[in-house]
Amino acid sequence: MRTALFSLAISLGLLAPAHAEIRAVIVGVADYLTLDADLKGPANDARLMAETLIARGVSPALITVLTSDPSGLPSGTTIGQPTHDAILAALATATEASTTGDTIVFTFSGHGAQAPDLSGDEGGGYDELLLPADASGWKGAIGSVENALVDDDLQAWAQATLSRSIKVVALIDACHSATGFRAVGGQGVAKVIDEAQLGIPDDVVPVAGTAAPPLQGDFVFLYSSQSDQRSFEYPMTDGSWHGEFTLRLAQTLRDTQDASWAQVLTATTEAMVQGPAKQMPDGEGPLLLSPVFGTGPTTQRFPIEDGTLAAGLLDGLTEGTELTLYATPTGGDPLASTILTKVTARAATFATPAPASARWAELASVPPPAPLTLAAPALADPADPHDYSAWIAALPPPKANPDLVPILTEGTIALANADGVLDPEGPNSTPRIRLQPGETAAEALDRTLEQAAHGLALRKVLAGATGRSLTGKAPLSVTTDRRAAQGTCGSAADPQPFDPAQGVAPCDQLWLTITNTSGTAQDVSVLYFTADFQVQPIYPSQNLANRLAPGETTRVGLMIEPGSTAGLEEIWTLAVPATPDAPRVDLTRLATTGTTRAAPSDPMTAWLATRLDPDATNRGFSLKPAPLTMIRQIVRLTGDPTSTLKEN
């Protein structure tokens, strides 16, 4: 169970008055005054969150930003330093200025830590800490880390605020545990400080006692990772750094209108699974199923200023993105089409000059993913006696900002994510390159990298081709049941609702019930993305019909066979609106690498295939293909190497 910064209690929601206001205290701690623990991303995170809240209708005058670097902050906001006293004072001021039905948003990006609880209110556990800029080491006289924000203090503020019928939203991009992981060669920076670095003596142990009572009121708290995971910050292609959670959360909030916090959390989690670290966010609170505050984004189009696009990497745009240009923020006829060339965090240039009347740009399509890149190899165990010369000779030259980190271990290569963490989900959960009979190291590496490049590229293309609205109006409903294995493989218990937190084991079965809830026929495909980067076709099989009429339901089952690879895997349920008198769209043909240069008959498959083909040369304007819906189910798999799936 999570040891959270705040305790959880369910309460009845209160109706907010029409004039309810939203205040925000945004904290970004990049430069530490005493600790040798500086980060590069939190100041950028603070600016991004301020911009995101303003885009959702929050007044700049009601936003306080406490950051190590105040440059570039939106005008009208209150600015200060992210020290212990300044943070608590800003929170207290926000509470005093608020009234019944108002909302206070608290965001924190910086280091987290744990310290033994000496008050006993954690029930014999550890206090969770957020570290302001003036945090230092352990002080025995106070029984805590000096100037740390302790969960007790934050909970006291939160309860005092909630007791006045003020809603509280907390978005925390920090981590509180560094156990169970080994980072041996990644590019990301973990946002955690361990007990030794804080000078906590080994003989200080938690005091047993009675846990503090849970919070009462209307709140929602989103955390950047599970209690046993680390949170990371990463560089973007233009050199700027951001916390992975804050970046994806801000993008989701910008692209989402009528969504609940639970839907935002789901979308953020899925976007992070696409990213370099398998960092699983979490959320809690009575408002989790309530609509997000604010009015949503002011426009679905990006502004053009002085012939340059006022949007960039932070908006999910990359070089090669195709845009349609308009004179107005909504509606109107398209003026021209173009592609983006140079793209920075907040701006982009067009391949051809925009018409003088063009003031807005709308996304038309995303470019093919960039080729897969690797970091320099890292040795997991310096005492490893194996000879890795053949593997090292087969590896391509290392690149900056790599997709994968090759780790030399057990006589082979493990391909870790860009965080360089080996086996984060247990032994052998990082995929290994296995030599097939007669293969050389170079041949095995080429085969595995081709498989990984295809799988990662397909996931990115499908995610980029889907609509970004997460309003709960998807054309499909998908429920998943788990039938746990009993005795021999193939014998299963009665179906139970699938709980992703429990995971699945070898011989377990997963059954999807897919219903077309729209008023249009949908062509449905199901793919499975394994921990070792394979994309496996699940449904339809043998070219059987996969078109669901409005209201129609189908059942799709799969079984995890013995010898499955531990780790996080994904089920992709894909739907394309059926075109009258047109062939069915079957996206299972994209599962294997040998089909991407084929000429399939349906437009969606053809369009996606060109995005997967690194030799594709068509960069001119093209009409949008039929809308694609992608519903992703995360599967936490336990087991040992060599995973395969079987359709039931």
Residue 14 lies in a domain: no
The answer as to whether 388 is a domain residue is yes
Residue 247 has pLDDT above 80, yes or no: yes
Strand order across the 219-223 sheet: 78-80, 63-67, 22-28, 103-109, 167-173, 219-223, 282-284
Q: What's the rounded Cα separation, in Å, for the pair 470 and 251?
A: 12
Each residue's pLDDT tens digit, 146-178: 888 888 889 899 999 999 999 999 999 987 543
Can you tell me the distance from the alpha carbon of 458 to that of 596, in angstroms, rounded to the nearest whole number?
10
Give the C-alpha separation, 22 to 600, whole Å: 51
> 453, 481, 516: which is the final residue of a domain?
453
pLDDT at residue 250 tops 60: yes
- Looking at 289, 315, 345, which one is the last position of a domain? 289
Would residue 576 count as lying in a domain? yes
Q: What is the reported pLDDT for 645?
A: 40
Q: Is residue 196 part of a domain?
A: yes
Indicate whether 186 and 74 sit together in one domain: yes
User: Is the same domain home to 413 and 558?
Assistant: no
pLDDT at residue 640 in the model: 47
**Stretch among 266-275, 321-330, 568-577, 613-622 having the lowest mean pLDDT:** 613-622
- The identity of residue 44, as a single letter, is N
How far is the C-alpha of 293 from the C-alpha of 18, rounded, in Å? 13
As a whole number of angstroms, the distance between CA 485 and CA 493 comes to: 6
- Mean pLDDT of the residues in the chain: 82
Q: What residue numbers bound the domain in which 395 lies?
A: 378-453
- 315 with 414, same domain: the answer is no
* Residue 611 belongs to a domain: yes
Note whether 575 and 434 are same-domain residues. Answer: no
Distance CA(325)–CA(553), nearest Å, equals 40
497 in the same domain as 406: no
Look up tokens 């916390």; give the residue: 243
Contact 591, 455 (CB under 8 A): no
Q: What are phi and psi of 58, to 5 degrees?
A: -75, 135
pLDDT band at 598 (very low <50, low <70, confident <90, very high): very low
Is the torsion defined by CA of 83, 88, 91, 97 positive or negative? negative
Query: Strands 476-483 and 567-577, how do they pair?
Result: unpaired
Domain membership of residue 323 (yes or no) is yes
**Per-residue model confidence as pLDDT tens digits over 517-551:** 998 999 999 999 988 888 999 999 877 889 999 99
Q: For tokens 């179906």, what's the residue?
A: 495
pLDDT at 596 over 60: no
The reported pLDDT for the residue numbered 142 is 57
Q: Are 547 and 522 in contact (CB under 8 A)?
A: yes
Read off the pLDDT of each residue in 49-66 and give the average, rounded to a whole number.
95
Within 13 Å, how many C-alpha atoms sit on residue 537's CB side?
Answer: 18
pLDDT surpasses 70 at 196:
no
**Percent over 90 (pLDDT), the chain:** 44
The verdict on 449 and 476 lying in the same domain is no
Cβ neighbors of 220 (< 8 A, separation 6 or more) are 168, 169, 170, 261, 283, 284, 285, 286, 287, 288, 290
Residues in the chain: 648
The answer on 346 and 272 residing in a single domain is no
Q: What is the tens place of the pLDDT at every residue in 357-370?
A: 999 998 887 777 77
- What's the CATH code of the domain at 186? 3.40.50.1460
Last residue of a domain, one of 289, 319, 349: 289
Tell me the C-alpha distance between 532 and 633, whole Å.
17
Q: Compute the distance between CA of residue 261 and CA of residue 142 in angstroms, rounded to an integer.
A: 37
75 pLDDT higher than 90: yes
Is 212 found in the same domain as 317?
A: no
How much of the chain, in percent, has pLDDT values that exceed 70?
Answer: 81
**Rounded distance, CA 285 to CA 514, Å?**
29
3-state secondary structure 615-639: CCCCCCCCCCCCCEEEEEEEEEECC
Residues 225 and 333 both lie in one domain: no
Indicate whether 66 and 98 sit together in one domain: yes
- Who's near 27: CB < 8 A, 6+ residues apart? 42, 46, 66, 67, 82, 87, 106, 107, 108, 109, 110, 132
Q: Within this chain, do residues 403 and 492 fall inside the same structural domain, yes or no? A: no
Separation between Cα atoms, residue 58 and residue 508, nearest integer Å: 47
What is the pTM (predicted TM-score) of this model?
Answer: 0.80
Cα 275 off chain centre by: 7
- The number of folded domains in the chain is 4
Residues 314 and 403 grouped into a single domain: no
**Mean pLDDT, rounded, for 402-407:** 92
Q: What is the pLDDT of residue 647?
A: 40
Most confident residue range from 116-125, 290-299, 461-470: 290-299
Question: In this predicted structure, which of 207-216, 300-309, 382-391 has the lowest mean pLDDT?
Answer: 207-216
In a domain, 233, yes or no: yes
Task: Please give the angle made by the CA atoms of 510, 512 and 517, to the nearest 5 degrees.
Answer: 165
CA angle 18, 22, 28 (to 5 degrees): 170
pLDDT in tens, 313-337: 888 788 888 899 999 887 788 999 9
* Residue 373 counted as domain residue: no
> Is residue 277's pLDDT more than 70?
no
Model confidence band, residue 254 (pLDDT cutoffs 50, 70, 90): confident
